Structure formats: structure tokens, C-alpha cells
Structure 1
Amino acid sequence: MRFTHPVNTLKKLGCGLAFGAAAIMAMPTSALACTQIYMGSQLTADGNTYYGRSEDFGPRYVKHFGIEPAHKDGSKYTSVESGFEYKSKGATYRYTFVRDNPSQWEDRYDAYSEAGINEKGVSCSATLSTSYNEKAEEADPVTEETGIGEYNYASVILGESATAREGVELLGNLIDEQGVCSNDQIIIADNNETWLFAALSGHQWIAMRLTDDIASLNPNIGNLTYDVDLDDTENCLHSEGIESMPKEKGFAEYTDGKFDVAKTYGEEISEAGMHQWSRYVQGRDYFMAPLAEGTDYEIVKDEREDARATTGALVHEMQPLFFTPGKSDWNTFEMIRSFAARGENVAGLNANTDGAYAIGSNRNTEIHTFQIRHGMDPEIATIQWEMLSNAEFSVAIPLYSALLTEVSPYFSDQDVSFDHCEEEDVVNNEEPKNSINYVLMDINTLAYENRDSCATGVRAYLDALQKELIEQNLTVDEAMQAAKDTEARTALANKAGKAATKNTYVKCKAMLEEMRDYLKEGDFSEEFVPSDYDADNDCLVESITYADEALSDEDVAEPEVEEEATEEKSEGNNMAAMAVGAIVIIGVCGFVLYRRKKA
């Protein structure tokens, strides 16, 4: 049976369709718009590996950070986007997730886990949609009958895998047996290895172990070139027919006598859209490995009435998936902010002045950056820096996700109303209470729509806040590494997560209210500057207390909840449980866990 869902269809249009340059005037403007980034440990100031992804779907689309508990009797995974089904072979692992609101997925709470870390320290970033060429599609089409896809990737990998390699092998086996319903790239990592997994066609796939001396940038382009040794099983895993199938079907491509995976399966150069290439050019410039206009690419105009941007780029020849950046001391702040790049220093492709589409667009819905300390205990090796809104005007919150069993109540759970996403007057209509999800969304809306008067001050303040979170997390991390056992680490992880989220919420909520007051007054003779921002010293007037609260003997203060609101929430949870049927909802410490009933 084939499953379809209107919201998922839109998601795939937003992040999963390529259009041809030759037919640019005839095709819709919805093009691939997510961006995946990797930076090896030899290229960073702290010797850590960084990777992550921005999801690009729409200007106001709420996402939810939460925890899926372990299931001792296993889980059965099913999908709305395809007929995929899989039953665990044993108990599953606890993991964090970033999911969509159930109202957008037929009231299902398991949709599109996207990013997280499980209790074994395995992290996953999903999904970067790509495209295959017509010959690959004809020979081995994707299947919505049984194929796994972005709805389930992260849930299956994190729920079932004790190592990154296990995750790669499991996903590969599922594609061998059931196929995929879309072409995608995923990153799976642990404290020792980082793997880039690519679903090439319906049943063909490849996974490459990423080295420490390279960087990677991919804005949804399926034919970025790479050289790989298919016989090196230590560093490359793949489907059995990756070369034999296209060779038999007559579309295998070879470069200098060697089988070329990207060229064989990836779309033609003319099929990658101008707004994908503009983001590739912007990203390469951000990482100080710029392409040259005229030599490497041309600036082109998108004159369609419904174009998402008016200016883009088209390259002269296919570009590499891996490259060497212009320096080797990238820091945490720079890696987090890379997802907000808007081509500020690229002549003709500056999204702020030239009408180009950007990596950091107003359509970002969620951005995650994983910081991996290789060789460290997997419980604490990976820090998840999580943004639940557009990257340009947002803050990434540090989370020790492998240990988390509790989530800050300032993260709105999946029962919060989706209605505020559709609010058009954000100045006069406030977001749901105590919601960092919606506070960041509203900040982005107001700063983006009032760029001339608000953008500079808001961005400067959020950058200062981000730097304080990074600096104070170093203090928290010292205590985390010194903690004597898993129990002590878990307690600290829960407390630190709550303290970081609360401090971020309090600062951002205060600024949002000042933005609303400024815009209501209507006097734009001076640009907006948050009262808590010290412009002379580029810092906060009053520092956050994240580290102090995380390491104190006192509990982190939680928001007051009105009794009436609590009763309404309980009723809503009961209704959700009745609607879903297969889900029991358990309230813990102001957040919600969703546990499947045992069959």
C-alpha cells in the first residue's frame, strides 16, 4: 500500500527536488534548501570534530526537542511517507530527538526524528535530500511501497545502534532488503568514527568514513565529486551491486579508469538548481576556500514570479564534496554560525543586498551542530548544540544528549499548539508561554521583516549570548569529565540542560519583548539595540548564570504553571493518547515522553 501525506510532500518539495537550469523558467521555485556541514578534527582549534545540518522548510514551522525512552521489548517502526516497517530484534536505546509537531503528521508523535544522540553515544544527523539521474532512476527507482526514508532514519539508527558502524550496517541492510523511498545523505557518528551515508538509488548505497583532515559542505547536490576505494572495508561500506548493477544496465561511469560513484548515480550538473549553487558558493567563501566568479561559476537571475530568490549561481563544472578550508583553527562559535552564512562577503550573492538565497535563510526550521571529542567516554564525548529556529537570529543550546533523561520545560513539548506558526501579527500577539521554540521563531520573524532597523542589534546580542554559553560550557564540561560515574553525570547533564535552556529563554524572551515595544512605538530614527547589550565591549550587560546554576546545589528554577493551564494540558494529552492509540504519554518534570504500548 502506498502512503502519502500532504505535509511530507511539501517537505520533500522544500528539501528534495532538483530543477534543471535549461528549464528554469518552467519549474517551481521549491528547490533543495537544506545544508550539511562537516569539519575534521585536524582543522579545528580544539581538536574536535564538528558536523551538522540546517533544515529548510518554511519561515514559521515549530520543531520539538525531546527524549524517546528505551523499550525493553523493542519497537515497531512504521512510516507515513511509505509502507516501511521494521521490528526491533531486541531492546532499544534511549535517545534524544528533534521532531515535527504531530498536527502536521496525522497526529503521530514519531515523525522525522532528525537529530539526536542515544545512550551509547551514537549521534545522527538526518536528512540531506539529494537526487539521482534518469538512468539510475530507470534502473533502480526508489520505492514508497517498502522503502525507509527521512521519517524513520534517525529513529531506527539511534534506537538500534550501539556504534556508528552498527548504524551504517543496519541502514545498509534495510535498504538491501526493503529499499529507500528517497535519495538522501545522513551522517552517523560516535566517539571514534564519523560516517557519511548516501542512499544512491532504490537499493544502492555507500557509506564513507570521514577523515580528520577534510571539510565538507553540501546544499543538497547529489553529484558533488569524491574519490573512494570500494575495496577498503575499513573506511568504505556499500551495497553489493553498487558497481555491478549500473555496469550491467549500461550506465556505469569511470574517471581515469576508476568507477565513479557520484557521476554514475548523481544528477547531471545542469539539474542542480541555481539556489543550491549559490549556497555552495557562500559556504565555500565562509570557510575561506572561495570559488571564483567567471572561472568557477556565473551569477544568474531567477525571473519567475514565484521565485524564492532573484539571484543564484551556476557552476561551470561539478565541484568536490570534500575540500580544504583556508585555515585550520575553526572554533565552536564559527562552526555554529556557519549555518547562518548569507554570503556577506560574496559579491553578487549577498543575501542581504543581492536577492540571493542563503544557507541561513528565513526558511530554516532547525539547526544542530554536534561537537565530538574523539576517544572520550561515549557518554560525554558528543555535545549537541541545538537551535530550534532560523540560524540567522538564533542561539544554539549545549546539551549532553547521551545522558539526558529530563528535558527543560522551556522546550515546548509536542502537545503545544501549532497555531502560533500561522500568526501574521507577531508584534501584538504573543507566543505560548515559556516556549523557547516560539520565542526564537518570533525573534527571527521580527528581525527578518524589519532588517533595516532590527537585524544588526539582534544579531550582535545573540552572538554575545552564544559566546557566553560556549565559554561557560567549558566550566560545566570540566565538572562533567570529573564526575565519578554515570549516575552523577546524568544528574549533571539534566541540570546543565535545564540551566542552559532557562538562561537562553530568559535572555531571548526579554529581548523579544523589547523588540515588540520598539516596533509598536514606530520610531525607527535609531536602530534597535537590546538594553542588555554593551555595544562598546560587544558583550552582555549582565552575564548569564548557566555554569553557576548547573554546578550549584540548588535546583534550576522552573516556570510557574497555572493550575487551569495544567488541567487543560492534561486533557489535551489524554485526547492525544486516544487519537494515537498506540502511544501512552507520561509527564515527567514538566516535559513529555512518548512510549509505545507493547504489542
Structure 2
Amino acid sequence: MKRIFAAIFAFVASAQLSLACTTIIVGKKATVDGSILVARNDDGPGITAVNFLYHPPRRDGYTLRSVMKNKFSYEMPSHLMGYTGSPRGSGSAYDESGFNDAGVGVSATETIVSNARTLSVDPYVKETGIVEEVIPTIILSQAKSAREGVELLGALVESHGSAEGFGVAFVDSNEAWYLENAGGHQWLAMKIPDDSYFVSANQSRLGEFDPDDHNILSSPNLVGFAQTHGLYDRGTDGPFSFRRAFGRDNEIDVRYNYPRVAQLQKWFTANAADQSVTANGFPTFRRPDHPVAVTDVQRALQDYFAGTPSDPYTSGNPAATARPISVYRTYQSHVLQTRKGLPEGIANVEYLDLGMTALGIYLPFYQGAAIPESYRGVTGDSDDSSAFWQFRKVQLLAMQDFPHLAPIVRSRYDALALAIADKQLQFEKDYARVAKTDRVEADRMRDRFTRGNVDAALAVSRELVNTLVTQLSLRTNQLYRFPGS
């Protein structure tokens, strides 16, 4: 019997570990500056280390294969665009987020799960279906608009099948889209309304829709498929809802996913605090009470229920079972921002935070800017030179005594973030002025700005490591004081 329970526990634990990420998307009429925001915490095993790279354009096509998940393969065409990504290693596996040379951004993926009924009639194509590992590579190499990216991924789901459940965000200067798959070959994508925001936390969130709406894309005969296979009955189920028909919704979701959706909607819409957090009635889209800034999204992704009994880090409460938004196993968090009315060289920005967001700092990387060496060549072994491991050391040390050490980390990183934001305003004015007559010099300014921010963040991180080690040394000495010493 003990072995049975152990096996069940191991299965549930591994299933929950694979359920990772939290997504926020904000339309252009819901932000303070008319920009579009696509953001996600990328969660995985705590040892996962990532690079931040620019993959240059490729003239010739090649065969793209999954190297970590299954036997998926896809023939990439010729004349592929360059793009940025945050892969695990020096290749392109799990690129996760970035912009391509056409200004299209992708965030992939949010792990979701189809319900058992769906998988019984259209199972995942586990051996050869498309997986998260390759999605950014395929889309960013080819898509010249967000909508084109949706259509490309949807066609791949239909032709190759899906090996797993996922949600994917697409953005360009005009619009943002979100696609969810279901089973092996079904999918639905919705354009984010300009005046609204969307949040997701490891569960299908797309609901009711009008199939004739230009802002909806899907696999053929989606509703008919659900009806044919007993996943939807118009007479008893009412209006068709994608997530009700295809998505998993059980006790795991109540504990693991509902709290994050509820918390994020409370961040932007005050009356969302009144909604039930034990029923899956969360609206697909909501309007924020106030225009949303990049920093609002960053703070939401840093949330861990601070100041409530559900805060697992400060309270140490063993009954705090709700899964927080910010977890230690986050290895990369990003906010993709697209803006109109600015020079091409500063229109698109990826704000990147390596590691646990509650103990990290978002740094701006403009599309096209040279990426500092410290963001490349990262491995799974800790080192003294990479940005990832410098930030990770701060987070690891602070987690040893979160209530006392986290405020020290937050104070230093928040002060630096404010200083960078002030410099950023002036930098963009200077860039726009110089770019009118000398784009090359303007781009050099952009590279210097980027490098300066990274250097400052690493310097603060090194100082924090020393500060935290000193504090922990003092506490350790107090803890192990023996009589007579």
C-alpha cells in the first residue's frame, strides 16, 4: 500500500512540476502608452539555466528536430529570419520568447492539459507531434505578423499533431493573439481585445466565441468535432465554450491554477476580488481599472500573495497550498513590448528577468541591440561569469531566510530598476534624435545603454551576494553557539 501511495504521489508531483508558467497579455488601448504587452513567467526545474541569444538569418532551409522531447521533425524553408531567444544551451531548444527581424514576438508556451474525454477521441501525438521545444524557432524564423504566426502554428497542429498541451502568445505592432490547442489536432486562437487584458495559469482559458468573427481562428469544424464526439451538447451545455469542452478542470486546477488567475485579475481589476476562487468562472478577458504600465505587469509576475496567509515564503505556513505566481524554479521571465510611433531601433523591447521574479530584476533589451557576452555560454553548472548564475546566487542565498533577506534584495534591485527607467526615458529621446541623421551611431548608443544596464545589474548582484553571505554567516554563528564558546 505504501508503494502505491508513493507512486501516486510521484505521479502527481511530476505532473505538477511539468505544469509551469503564468501569462499576461494587455491590449494597446489598455496600456499607459498605447503599447501591447505580452508577458510570461517561464517555470521549470530549479537547476535549468538559459542563455539569451540572437539567431542570425539563414539562407538555406534545414530539418528541425526535437532534441529533448520526442521525434518531431519539420522541414524549415529557405530565407529564414533572424530572431532572439532564451534557449537551454547554445542551440535553439526551448527558445521561449523573443522578437524576429520583422518585429513579431512570440512567448511559448503556457503548459495546459486537455481533459480525459478529449484525449480519448483525439490523443496527443506523443512520438512525433509538435512540442514547446521547437515552437518559437519555427514561428519566429518565418512569421511576418502575429496573425501569420497563429496560422502557421495552427496548420502544424493539424498536420503534425500536438505532443502536449500548450498556449502560445503572438504579438506585433498592431495586435496580440493567444492560441490554445486541444487533444492532438484541435486548436483555437483569439485576438486580444485592444481595451482588455488576458491572463492564464496552466489551464485552458479561451471560452465562448463567434466562429464568424475575424478575430477568431481555429481548426476546421471545431464545434462540430466536439458535438460528434460527445464533448459538447448544445441543448444541455448552452453556448459553446472551448475550455469547457476540451480543457481539464479538476481539484489540481483549483489548488494550482485558480489562485494565480484570481490574483492576476485582482491586480488589474479591483472588483475581481469578489469572484469565487473555487469555481472556474473567470472571464477570458477583462478591462483594467487603470491603464497598465510595463512595471505593473512586472510586479504582477513577482507576486507571491505577500501580506496574506497564502504567502509561502514569509509566513512559512504549511497550510499555504495555493501555488504562487513567483516560484524559485522560474528560470526566465519576460515582458515583450511593441510600440508604434517610435524609430524601428527602439520600438520593440524585451524586458528580461533571469530566475525567480520576486528576487530578480527586469532589464530592457531592445530588438537589434547587441547582447552582452555574460548572457551567452551558460550551462547547468554554476559559474562566476554568466549573468544567469550571478542572479541565481542572489536568489538562492535570499531564499535561505526569505523574511529577512528578501527585503534587502528587493531594495537594491528596485532602486537600480528606477535608475535604469529614468535613463531609459532620456536614452530614447537621444536615440530618436540621432537616428534621424546617423542610424549607425544611434545603434551604438543603444548597445552602450544595454551593456551599461547589464554591468550595473551584475555589479549590484555581486554586492548582494557578499551582503547575503555576511548576513547568513552571522545568523549561522548565532544558531550554533555552544556553551563555553
TM-score by length of 2: 0.88
Of Structure 1 and Structure 2, the greater helix share is in 2
Q: What pairs with 1:137-536 in structure 2 (closer than 5 Å)? A: 137-222=119-204, 224=205, 226-232=207-213, 234-254=214-234, 257-270=238-251, 272-289=253-270, 296-297=276-277, 315-325=278-288, 327-348=289-310, 352-353=314-315, 354=317, 355-356=320-321, 357-374=323-340, 376=342, 379-401=345-367, 403-404=368-369, 406-411=370-375, 413-414=376-377, 416-420=378-382, 432-482=383-433, 483-484=435-436, 487-522=440-475
- Match for 1:173: what amino acid? A
Cα distance 1:59–1:289, how it changes in 2: closer, same or farther (>3 A)?
farther
Of residues 59-68 and 150-159 in structure 1, the stretch that sits farther from structure 2 once superposed is 59-68
Cα distance 1:351–1:214, how it changes in 2: closer, same or farther (>3 A)?
farther
- Match for 2:463: what amino acid? A
Conserved 8 A contact 2:294-2:335: no
1:450 partner SS: helix
Cα distance 1:377–1:245, how it changes in 2: closer, same or farther (>3 A)?
farther
CA distance in 1, matches of 2:242, 2:258: 21
Of residues 53-62 and 111-120 in structure 1, the stretch that sits farther from structure 2 once superposed is 53-62
Alignment of 1:57 with 2:57, yes or no, is no
Deviation at 1:42, TM superposition (A): 2.6
CA distance in 2, matches of 1:454, 1:208: 42
Conserved 8 A contact 2:38-2:171: no
Cα distance 1:524–1:185, how it changes in 2: closer, same or farther (>3 A)?
farther
Q: How many residues are aligned here?
A: 461
CA distance in 1, matches of 2:120, 2:131: 19
Give CA deviations for 1:373-415 in whole Å, capped at 9, x if unaligned: 14656553221000111101111110112x23x320222x23x
CA distance in 2, matches of 1:443, 1:253: 53
Cα distance 1:51–1:371, how it changes in 2: closer, same or farther (>3 A)?
same
- Match for 1:395: what amino acid? I
CA distance in 2, matches of 1:349, 1:452: 11
Conserved 8 A contact 1:45-1:331: yes
Deviation at 1:364, TM superposition (A): 1.2
2:34 counterpart residue number: 47
Give CA deviations for 1:412-442 in whole Å, capped at 9, x if unaligned: x23x44222xxxxxxxxxxx23322111101
CA distance in 2, matches of 1:149, 1:449: 35
Cα distance 1:292–1:490, how it changes in 2: closer, same or farther (>3 A)?
closer
Give CA deviations for 1:191-220 in whole Å, capped at 9, x if unaligned: 111111111221111111111211222111
Cα distance 1:487–1:157, how it changes in 2: closer, same or farther (>3 A)?
farther
Deviation at 1:225, TM superposition (A): 5.2
CA distance in 2, matches of 1:249, 1:144: 21
1:98 counterpart residue number: 86
Of residues 212-221 and 507-516 in structure 1, the stretch that sits farther from structure 2 once superposed is 507-516
Deviation at 1:334, TM superposition (A): 2.0
Of 21, 24, 27, 2:12 maps to 27
Cα distance 1:271–1:393, how it changes in 2: closer, same or farther (>3 A)?
closer
1:28 partner SS: helix
Of 94, 100, 125, 1:118 maps to 100
- Match for 2:78: what amino acid? G
Give CA deviations for 1:345-366 in whole Å, capped at 9, x if unaligned: 5454565324343101122111
Conserved 8 A contact 1:119-1:379: no
Deviation at 1:91, TM superposition (A): 0.7
- Match for 2:423: what amino acid? Q
Conserved 8 A contact 1:342-1:352: no
Give CA deviations for 1:236-286 in whole Å, capped at 9, x if unaligned: 111113122222222225487532222111113445251222222332333
Structure 1: any 5+ residue segments left out of the alignment?
1-22, 103-108, 298-314, 421-431, 526-599
Of residues 184-193 and 447-456 in structure 1, the stretch that sits farther from structure 2 once superposed is 447-456
CA distance in 2, matches of 1:112, 1:225: 24
1:217 partner SS: strand
Conserved 8 A contact 1:41-1:213: yes
- Match for 1:230: what amino acid? P
Conserved 8 A contact 1:228-1:236: yes
Give CA deviations for 1:4-30 in whole Å, capped at 9, x if unaligned: xxxxxxxxxxxxxxxxxxx99983375
- Match for 1:56: what amino acid? D
1:27 partner SS: helix
Conserved 8 A contact 1:121-1:379: no
Give CA deviations for 1:446-469 in whole Å, capped at 9, x if unaligned: 111111321112112211111222
Conserved 8 A contact 2:298-2:335: yes
2:189 partner SS: strand
Conserved 8 A contact 2:254-2:279: no
CA distance in 2, matches of 1:398, 1:136: 41
Cα distance 1:27–1:173, how it changes in 2: closer, same or farther (>3 A)?
closer
1:427 counterpart residue number: none
2:483 counterpart residue number: none
RMSD between aligned residues: 2.6
2:55 counterpart residue number: 68
